[in-house]
A and B are shown apart, each in its own frame.
Chain A
């Protein structure tokens, strides 16, 4: 099942590159969700995937995007994180606005260095213009950061971390093999 969801996520990304125009995160505006996604539009998913890859960059192990951060957040925004929908809408729009203004490009199209720098400014609360009033950039960054960590290191049942990839990366057997690994140093 997990490999199936990986393939369909790649399809989402393909759709994301084909899709034109910003779609609404908030239900009620007839959002065009690819099959399987619940809340996020193609643009939202593309942007969040790019953020996820800076928070947990790909190397010999998957980055945040490949390891299901977007599908985790999408699913939780239709569940316990419904209360964060407004913050996501505001934060993602503010990021796009800041990038277009500063670089005439969307965040997804910036170099990794520029993306990292912008996220660092958000983390320190350095962004104050546009949609970033009252320390919102810091709060938004911390929210996305912690949700990305939950997706990447949590149970696959919530939409992220297919096949416990992060557990394998960290050398944690799943399922636990009692009597097999406890004396392996």
Chain B
């Protein structure tokens, strides 16, 4: 039986798609929201370190699975190999209702004004496609506010002198520091820095009908047992469904856009939960499938009007894949610090986010989420044995006596870091898979050197008896913070969408996820993805109510 035509299809029920579905359905549009995964909860995967979204050695707790999904990775030496979702190099994003917002660490950062004007602030960077966003912080401010109030954020920005200006405070008070954060706070203040509690998409007090956080050690990488973590799965998606205008179709894999003889995009083709191929037509298509799967879907949608994929006339779809260069330092102490107050990360400084001499951008520094026992078994000072008696002794002596300070360096977009579709490898539905290739821009290493040095100084000031830094390699970035592959811009020759996320050359196809990010800030990106969801959703709904049918 043919599916009934709807006003809008949204592909992907994550941070971006969930918000768009809610905005459109509350405005009266009929919506089908597609999700390749299913509803998940703490009951499906509880506190099992080896099968979580943080340590994926036995698989991704919240998908996708290794049986049906795969990608091709082109290494720096040019060799290619198959990678699976549980491999780090796959650059996985969770496949479930809410996607990463179910299991994320839930940091709720607003980017700063400079993050939207990187080229104007720092000038061009050789070899990088560094550019300003076509929207400013001020354009997004009310969208951030909506995300903070509708999805729920706990924090106090008055303690961060570098925070971008805001009209309304956070809806919930900040979380208290755990013991390691209290130690770091004193040290940072002695150094003249400005520590403050990390804003979190997590209930510090009962909010929106859900309880306050129980502060478990298994938070980042895990579902919340008491439903205190705020994602799209327990806020905007239920709100969308309660309108009666939105149908959520889980276990549905969208393989391509349907393009008619005139070149108009009329819907999507998908495989349902029984692997039966179906079609869903719509007036508007919003692709919110992640910075790797969104370009894959556009590139896999070809016709005589779009010979190299929808939106790809100038070869920008899939370009500029970036994530964050995570860098920092570890410190060992000679007294017990670990108080088992989750999720670990509670305090940050934004002193190094911008205007550091010689550095383009920068990043926040924060204490890290709780390192569970297996993850900790791989954390050792350089040159230490990774097995044997000494390794075992370190494990029990220092688990309660270490602090990690870490942050995301804003990466320089690199045109040749990219998502393509592989010419021969297919997934279990027969859809050509993502092919990843590229590397980091050399400038990122300078940022890491800078920021990890600051992290080490903080740990020393806090009394660490031994410290060491960690910096990432020069290989391709991406990961859970993946971004940049369908850049927004005013010039169709050097971008994929306009300033409202509409794909150039199409009247009715939109993107609403981190693919839109021109640059990715020196912050975790979730709240910005949500804010863009509000921007895209608001624009479509507003135009629709004015009578625009996006023909």
User: Residues of A with Cβ closer than 8 Å to B?
Assistant: 54-57, 59, 61, 76, 79-80, 116, 119, 123, 145-146, 148-150, 152-155, 157-158, 166-167, 169-173, 176, 178, 181-185
Query: Bound state CA distance, A59 and B395, in angstroms?
Result: 14
A172-B399 contact given A158-B50, A178-B214, CB 8 Å threshold: yes
| Residue of B with least CB distance to A148 | B387
Select the residue from A146, A148, A154, A169 with max chain B CB neighbours within 10 A.
A154
Contact A153 B377 (CB under 8 A): yes
Contact B179 A170 (CB under 8 A): no
Contact B50 A155 (CB under 8 A): yes
Q: Report the minimal beta-carbon distance from B75 to chain A, rounded to whole angstroms.
A: 16
A154-B389 contact given A167-B373, A178-B215, CB 8 Å threshold: no
Query: Bound state CA distance, A25 and B391, in angstroms?
Result: 30
Beyond known contacts A150-B374, A158-B50: 11 more, CB 8 A cutoff = A61-B392, A145-B386, A146-B378, A154-B48, A154-B49, A155-B50, A158-B58, A166-B373, A171-B399, A172-B340, A182-B341
Q: Give the residues from 80 to 118 in chain B that come closer than 8 angstroms, CB to CB, to chain A.
A: 86
Which residues on the B side are within 8 Å of A56 (C-beta)?
A: 387, 391-392
Q: Report the minimal beta-carbon distance from A65 to chain B, rounded to whole angstroms.
A: 14
1/0 per residue, CB under 8 A from A, across B40-55: the answer is: 0000000111110000
Contact A171 B400 (CB under 8 A): yes
Q: Report the minimal beta-carbon distance from A82 to chain B, rounded to whole angstroms.
A: 10
User: Residues of B with Cβ closer than 8 Å to A?
Assistant: 47-51, 57-59, 66, 86, 178-179, 214-217, 335-337, 339-341, 372-374, 376-378, 386-389, 391-392, 395-396, 399-400
| Residue of A with least CB distance to B377 | A149
Closest 5 CB pairs of A and B: A153-B373, A153-B374, A154-B50, A155-B48, A149-B377
Q: Which one, B51, B179, B391, contacts A185 given CB within 8 A? A: B179
Which residues on the A side are within 8 Å of B50 (C-beta)?
A: 150, 154-155, 158
Q: Report the minimal beta-carbon distance from B23 to chain A, rounded to whole angstroms.
A: 37
Contact A185 B373 (CB under 8 A): no
Which residues on the B side are within 8 Å of A170 (C-beta)?
A: 373, 395-396, 399-400
Which residues on the A side are within 8 Å of B376 (C-beta)?
A: 153
Contact A80 B59 (CB under 8 A): yes
Q: Report the minimal beta-carbon distance from A2 to chain B, rounded to whole angstroms.
A: 16
Contact A185 B49 (CB under 8 A): no
Which residues on the B side are within 8 Å of A152 (C-beta)?
A: 377
Q: Report the minimal beta-carbon distance from B222 to chain A, rounded to whole angstroms.
A: 12
Contact A80 B58 (CB under 8 A): yes
Which residues on the A side are within 8 Å of B337 (C-beta)?
A: 185
Contact A172 B373 (CB under 8 A): yes
Which residues on the A side are within 8 Å of B57 (C-beta)?
A: 80, 146, 150
Contact A173 B386 (CB under 8 A): no
Contact A149 B341 (CB under 8 A): no
Select the residue from B51, B336, B374, B389 with max chain A CB neighbours within 10 A.
B374
Query: Bound state CA distance, A185 and B340, in angstroms?
Result: 11
Which residues on the A side are within 8 Å of B335 (C-beta)?
A: 185
Query: Bound state CA distance, A179 and B409, in angstroms?
Result: 36
Select the residue from B336, B373, B395 with max chain A CB neighbours within 10 A.
B373
Contact B387 A145 (CB under 8 A): yes
Contact A54 B388 (CB under 8 A): yes
| Residue of B with least CB distance to A177 | B340
Contact A157 B48 (CB under 8 A): yes
Q: Report the minimal beta-carbon distance from A71 to chain B, rounded to whole angstroms.
A: 14
Contact B59 A183 (CB under 8 A): no
Query: Bound state CA distance, A167 and B49, in angstroms?
Result: 12
Contact B396 A57 (CB under 8 A): no
Which residues on the B side are within 8 Å of A184 (C-beta)?
A: 339
Contact B396 A169 (CB under 8 A): yes
| Residue of B with least CB distance to A141 | B387
Which residues on the A side are within 8 Å of B58 (C-beta)?
A: 76, 79-80, 150, 158
Query: Bound state CA distance, A56 and B47, in angstroms?
Result: 24
| Residue of A with least CB distance to B215 | A178
Q: Report the minimal beta-carbon distance from A182 to chain B, rounded to whole angstroms.
A: 4
Select the residue from A57, A123, A155 with max chain B CB neighbours within 10 A.
A155
Select the residue from B47, B48, B387 with max chain A CB neighbours within 10 A.
B387
Q: Report the minimal beta-carbon distance from B534 to chain A, rounded to whole angstroms.
A: 35
Contact A181 B373 (CB under 8 A): no
Which residues on the B side are within 8 Å of A182 (C-beta)?
A: 178, 339-341
Query: Bound state CA distance, A155 and B50, in angstroms?
Result: 7
Q: Report the minimal beta-carbon distance from A45 to chain B, rounded to whole angstroms.
A: 20
Which residues on the B side are within 8 Å of A149 (C-beta)?
A: 374, 377-378
**27 pairs across A/B with beta carbons < 8 Å?**
A54-B388, A55-B387, A56-B391, A57-B389, A59-B389, A61-B392, A80-B58, A80-B59, A80-B66, A116-B388, A145-B387, A146-B378, A149-B374, A150-B58, A153-B373, A153-B376, A155-B47, A155-B51, A158-B51, A169-B395, A172-B373, A176-B216, A181-B340, A182-B339, A182-B341, A184-B339, A185-B336
Q: Report the minimal beta-carbon distance from B175 to chain A, rounded to whole angstroms.
A: 14
Which residues on the B side are within 8 Å of A172 (C-beta)?
A: 340, 373, 399
Query: Bound state CA distance, A29 and B378, in angstroms?
Result: 37
Which residues on the A side are within 8 Å of B391 (C-beta)?
A: 56
Query: Bound state CA distance, A57 and B66, in angstroms?
Result: 33
Q: Report the minimal beta-carbon distance from B311 to chain A, rounded to whole angstroms.
A: 37
Query: Bound state CA distance, A50 and B282, in angstroms?
Result: 62
Which residues on the A side are within 8 Å of B214 (C-beta)?
A: 178
Select the residue from A59, A169, A170 with max chain B CB neighbours within 10 A.
A170
Which residues on the A side are within 8 Å of B216 (C-beta)?
A: 176, 178
Which residues on the A side are within 8 Å of B374 (C-beta)?
A: 149-150, 153-154
| Residue of A with least CB distance to B399 | A170
Contact B387 A173 (CB under 8 A): no
Query: Bound state CA distance, A182 and B391, in angstroms?
Result: 26
Contact B340 A173 (CB under 8 A): yes
| Residue of B with least CB distance to A57 | B389
Query: Bound state CA distance, A172 and B216, in angstroms?
Result: 12
Which residues on the A side are within 8 Å of B372 (C-beta)?
A: 153
Query: Bound state CA distance, A181 and B340, in angstroms?
Result: 7
Query: Bound state CA distance, A148 and B387, in angstroms?
Result: 10
Q: Report the minimal beta-carbon distance from B4 to chain A, rounded to whole angstroms.
A: 40
Query: Bound state CA distance, A146 and B216, in angstroms?
Result: 26
Which residues on the A side are within 8 Å of B339 (C-beta)?
A: 181-185
Which residues on the A side are within 8 Å of B179 (C-beta)?
A: 185
Which residues on the A side are within 8 Å of B389 (C-beta)?
A: 57, 59
Q: Report the minimal beta-carbon distance from B344 to chain A, rounded to whole angstroms.
A: 12
Which residues on the B side are within 8 Å of A185 (C-beta)?
A: 179, 335-337, 339
| Residue of B with least CB distance to A171 | B400
Q: Report the minimal beta-carbon distance from A13 to chain B, rounded to whole angstroms.
A: 22
Which residues on the B side are within 8 Å of A57 (C-beta)?
A: 388-389, 392
| Residue of B with least CB distance to A157 | B48
